[in-house]
């Protein structure tokens, strides 16, 4: 099953291009872990420790939360960290993070708008993430197991 939960809304002016995102399971559950894998192409070197992320959480048209983070701090809030080359050169780029989703997210259909910039102020990436944490997407009761699904997000051109 392929579901588009993560949409790359960047354009050719962004430093990270050709982005593909894989999220497993594709329908993540509150309080559980999800594996987030990103593959793309950096047009220039980037200091990932200095990338700034603006995160907006929306419920329908209502903005519920807006916060700014450095990329390492954002990952830390989700139980992950940067790995590999923290200052990669231009060329192919890949990161995999095992994220721990908090349980304190409202049970609702949410949109998360993630906009990241480099330390020099250039646009790094822009993602729109649609998450459905309604009751029907809760884990099955103990003893039952739901299958893992993979999602592919593709770069809009």
Reported pTM = 0.78
Give the distance from CA 123 to its chain's centroid.
Answer: 16
Which helix (H) or strand (E) element contains residue 109? Answer: strand 109-117
11 in Cβ contact with 51 (< 8 Å): no
**What's the pLDDT tens digit per position in 6-59?**
899 999 999 999 999 988 887 777 778 989 999 999 999 999 999 999 999 998
d(C-alpha 107, C-alpha 114), whole Å = 20
| Cβ–Cβ under 8 Å, residues 95 and 105 | no
């Amino acid at each position: 099953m392929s579901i588009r939960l993560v949409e790359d809304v960047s354009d050719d002016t962004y430093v990270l291009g050709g982005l593909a995102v894989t999220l497993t399971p594709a329908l993540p559950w509150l309080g559980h872990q999800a594996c987030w894998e990103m593959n793309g192409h950096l047009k220039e070197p980037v200091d990932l420790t200095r990338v700034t992320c603006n995160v907006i959480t929306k419920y329908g048209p209502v903005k519920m939360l807006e916060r700014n983070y450095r990329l390492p701090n954002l990952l830390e809030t989700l139980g992950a960290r940067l790995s590999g080359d923290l200052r990669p050169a231009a060329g192919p780029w890949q990161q995999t993070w095992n994220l721990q989703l908090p349980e304190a997210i409202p049970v609702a259909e949410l949109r998360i708008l993630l906009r990241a910039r480099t330390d020099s102020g250039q646009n790094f990436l822009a993602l729109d993430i649609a998450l459905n944490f309604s009751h029907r997407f809760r884990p099955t009761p103990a003893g039952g197991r739901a299958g893992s699904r993979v999602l592919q997000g593709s770069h809009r051109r």
